[in-house]
Structure 1
Amino acid sequence: MAIISGMNMSPVSRLKKTWSKAKTAKFFILEHQMDPTGNFYNYRTALRGAAHRSRTANSNRERVGLLIKDIYFLNEGCANRLPNGHVNFEKFVELARQVGEFMTWKKVECPFEQDRAILHYLHTAPIFSEDGLYLASYESESPENQVEKDRWKALR
């Protein structure tokens, strides 16, 4: 989810020359998987299939983002009390089930070896603000329209 969100940010998606050099077939597959329609139905289906096929079906790291989203929306979207004033036990049972699932996932060891070069990059790569991303984007590929030119001028 984080990858597709980052790739779809305006400072990245506007880089037409860069995108023309990239192999986008995998990106389109990823975009399809991350389609939010039906509460991320495609992604949930793919995760279930991967877990079923995997020898390490207990590796659930990729599900944590969805679990957090589900818990958040369950907590925010469902009332604690029913219209008759009674406690909404169904909400709390579901919250307990999902928190229990999370606690189980925390105990699972990740079956993949760490790649030191990737870890080093992730720990040392610069973190850009939104303005910093736009500046880097405009430095990579010049602004194409007046709105982009005005924004670039304001950022410099």
Structure 2
Amino acid sequence: MSDVRRPDVPGVDADKPTEIPAAGWWQVIRRAWAEAKADQVPLLAAGVAFFGFLSLFPAVVAAVLAYGLVADPSQIRFTYRLGPARDAPLWLTAYAVLLGAETNAETEQQTARDTTKGNPRPLGQRNAVKADSIPGSRADPGRS
């Protein structure tokens, strides 16, 4: 007999995410947002954007140097503008990916049934932090 309590969680018996009711999705979104804040997702996204942009500079220099070796000097009119506005799409992409990962983890926690591939395993034996607990249980890592 399992000692895991099953609180009143909307969608706890859902077999797939489309069976989670709106109230359950609202819980998922709230927890994902809180986890994203706790994990400093905006800061991580900024770091990915910064270092991604920083890594482009040597590649552009190498491309310009290689082009300069084979091109006619009279035809070289290559200008490249760099600016902080070019970092915004990379930051938004990194933020969306990291927030999506948080949402995926919270969705997995919303259901008590094993929705992963392979043979189903009971709660507490899935070797996954979020999939091994349901919201509000003692095993919930996000519980304060």
Same fold (TM > 0.5): no
Higher RCO (CA-CA < 8 Å; seq separation 6+)? 2
> Under a length normalisation based on structure 2, what TM-score does the superposition of the two structures give?
0.26
Query: Larger % of helix: which?
Result: 1
Q: Compute the TM-score of the two structures, normalised by the length of structure 1.
A: 0.25
Structure (1 or 2) with the larger CA radius of gyration? 2
